[in-house]
Structure 1
Amino acid sequence: MTKKYNQLAKKIVKYIGGKENVSDAYHCQTRLRFHLKDNSIVQKEELNDLDGVVQTLEKAGVYQVVIGTNVADVFEEVEKFIDVSGDNKNDKKPLEKVSMGNKIIDFVSGTFQPIIPALSGAGMVKALLALMIVFKITTVQSQTYIVLNMFADTVFVFLPILLASSEARKLNCNPVMAIGIAAMMLNPTWTQMVTAGKPVHLFDFIPLSLTSYAYSVIPIILIIFVQSYVEKFLHKVIPQAVELVFVPMLEFIIMGILAFSILGPIGSFLGNYLAIFFTFLSTNASWAPSVIVGAFMPIMVMFGLHNAVAPLGIMQMASKGFDSIFGPGCVCSNMAQATAGAIVAWRTKDPKTKTLATSGSITAYMGITEPILYGVSLPKKYPLVSTMIGGGLGGLYAGLTHTHRFATGSSGLPAILLYIGNNTMTFFINIIIAILISVVVTGLLTYFLSFKYEKNADTKLPIDNEKLIISAPVEGEVFPLSMASDDVFSSGALGKGVVIKPSEGKVFSPVSGNISTLFPTKHAIGIISDSGAEILIHIGIDTVDLNGKYFESFVTQGDHVDIGTELIRFDIAKIKESGYSTETMVIITNSDKYKTIKINSNQPNSGNSLLEPAL
């Protein structure tokens, strides 16, 4: 995410005894947590002196380095300097349960994402060639065209090799062996056998299906998936002294036979039916994919589903030479979202929103929509609705006109060049019209909706907004933060606030704002109020070790909530039975931004004024 904390992370690892001293590492809402082999060698004073480290402490055998709300960014850099094997990971590491659907999406994404640069580069070369033909700079018969086209086609011809390498890395098997197996299937000798059309039998009784695997996708994905298990099995049963020789040999023989006799033909069979499906869609419902992607692309991005849909376009490209499934709808959606952001930047008077919307819309026009989606469209909602309507209508036009792209690339404004091909400018013109429909519809909807939702668009914010009232998020007895059982909280190192001994296991939003962080274990939640106050609600002491047990959340990260919205429920009795304190800390983590913070530590009921920060 960022290299800002690279040096801090490097020093932290050094002072805790180096990577050799780390058997496990993870983080909670505010702290890095290490299971160390020898706590006595930790250089505690040096750690505490680091700029960026709030405090260090040791509890229940876990060495804790308190960082603050930017702990996730620091941990991302720490991971680069440690080497924790799966066998040594502590059972207390907070992990989210991953559904089968998410596992599939993660697998598809991890396989295809690494090869996107190659596909994009080849696609842009093809777009350049199309322009050269249109403007009569060269001809398809010229050596220049043939050579440049070879540059681009090579990526698609040897697509199985690229996929084999990325999939092997995703599945933690040997990528070189995977590349070797993929290369077998593209060997000129095999190509000659397929061209000759004569039956091929291995050992005179194992028939090999005469199938060409150039440009293919599904066969190699299936083959490397099986290879990952075969490889692990061979390493398990073959003695380490001879595995360097026999594992690769047996792997090549086993996977070669399976690839040409069973897995490759099955994958090819599935690929053929996928091609039939593509043909059916392009003939009978060409509008459907573009409408679905155009309208629901922001939702797909939020849940990671776009990573499962995008490869369908790549597969269609490999089998039919064009993509009408993903590209047209995606570019319409992205341009719609960029336009919604631009309108918000124009209409809002809030400086923070204006800056975020301006920069986010620029990156969205270049094809990167996450900043504008999570920073503006999702929190405000009305730009998201406008985007979905505009993107859907643009996608509808693209679908009805059978618009498709001839190469894979980004989905920003430069992507329109990918629609030049087949010696015609028709698809290029149609995608421009589709984008204009998306932009105009989205722009008008966002503009008119802004009169309702940007209530301060034409007036200055009232002076009362300089003072914020933070309500108590839980029922219970309120005490000064200095009385918290945890030294890090009681010292005020993370900010000013209070500690509440809850009488009811329900947490309500103390302000109107956005959920900035929700830890997987649900024991802590961060909220940024509409006026900019950063509030941390931390339920219990060391309750991260419960791994989410006895906690239930009702919101997700990025949600906008109103005062009184129920956020989390927790079982007070069960948590106490497990030996943990249920003290709940409410802290303003950006306390330094306020001149005064009035603390009302005698308010026992949620809904009452608890903290009053003033600029």
Structure 2
Amino acid sequence: MNAINTSDSTTEKKETVMNKILGAISGSFAPILGVLAGSGLISALISILTTLGWLSPKSGTYAILGAAGHAIFYFFPVFLGITLALKLGANGYVGGAIGAALLEPHFTDLVASHAQNVHFLGIPVILASYSSTVFPILIAVSIYSVLDKFLKKVIYKDLQMFVNPLISLLVIVPLTILIFGPFGTYVGGALAVVIKLLSSTSGMLTGAVMGAAWSFLTILGLHWAIIPIFIANLATGGDPLSPMIAAAPFAQIGLGLGVFFKTRDKDLKTLAASGLVPGALAGTTEIITYGILVRYKRTMLIVAIAGAIGGAINGMFGVKGTAFALPSFLSIPVFTPIGLYLVGTLSALVIAMVLTLILGYQGKSDVAPLKTVKDVNRETISSPLSGEIVPLSKISDPLFSTETVGKGIAIDPTKGEVVSPVDGVVTTLFPTEHAIGITSEGGAEILIIVGVNTIKLKGQFFTSHVKQWDTVKKGDLLIEFDIENIKAAGYDVKTPVVITNTNQYIDVVPTSEGNVQAKDELIRLVV
């Protein structure tokens, strides 16, 4: 165990800025990969049904199924605001509110009306639609997390619950609409100019650049600024750019196939498989993008190479799109000549799959390697008590024994002290002082409840040394309790330590057995 800890420390020291950024992005998407997969499969089902003529795009059924399949993508800023804020140790609900502000009806109506001369406190506002975007909310919530940490230091603790969100929303939402969002628009516009210049010079060169870059432009949300060029080209007889970028999603499909055949990790194999169907049938590759591509840096090079080759082929042969459609197997008929289009896109698919099988997908410094205790990117939770490790299944309260509250472990304490298992904030302190909730700087929500049904003691034999919203360091004394008197009153003192936001992690892995001392490593969170 000590050897592993030493390795972890070394890894943290060597962690690069890029690893931190990719780790934050990957960790933000991890909790919503399941709903992305489900929504993508609904979109694939709709595509199949409409292609077969069994479902009319004008029907109510189509609209309702479309709502189910598209909601997660439309409200992406909201979901991403929540998960990224939690990942960065800030308030997830404030992060979600920042994303929701970009989709609030008053603002979206303003955007839809193409209003001119809109100002905020005399500052001109550049209006843009932010549904389905990623880039603005990534910047906004990252800045918010920094502001939140500052506010926790300077705002009186008893006022933080409402003052911190008040100040955060008043500052971050206008900044997002005034600066962060338009910044993405400007960057996207500049990219559009560069692409036009390239396309007038060489179709093959443009195809190589577009095919290589498209996956990464999509991750940043910058692709939305380029899509209008596709639509404008369609009005003049055909679009040469969409076949070039089609190589990128086909390369990701090839990557998914390669990982599926290559990996022995059951969870990763399932993830890859769940991304293949919506990618192949509906052109929605978010599962592969955020579940694999962002996690494993080697796959970025593979997708870039395969996408560049496929895009260059389509660009060289002058393949064109005749209608706007997401690249997938079902949308092949909208490209012409179909035979040459297939040469380019299938080349990208096969090359990505073969490179993945030959080179592998996992590098030495990946932000999220395979899910093993030694290799995973993780957050460590220390033991808040000294005592004997007990499985949650042995706790008589079914809420804990069935892991309804969350995964974790229990401790039969030998010393009546609860210390903080992490650096973080006390987000919940029960009036009876027998239970406490802490949110770590990494976003883990930890619930510690001393004993079973000890709430009935109404605080007797418990003394807290912190207040709600206090900032604490690992090892700080939180609660003292009298073990002997609690037992004499007829209560079991076995103490569950659970991660209540378990669903935001790939796994919650207890790392200790037998006896444990306070501040020893107790749980690892796989992210």
Normalising by structure 2, report the TM-score: 0.47
Which has the higher relative contact order, 1 or 2, with Cα contacts under 8 A spaced 6 or more apart? 2
**Could you say which structure has the larger radius of gyration?**
1
Normalising by structure 1, report the TM-score: 0.41
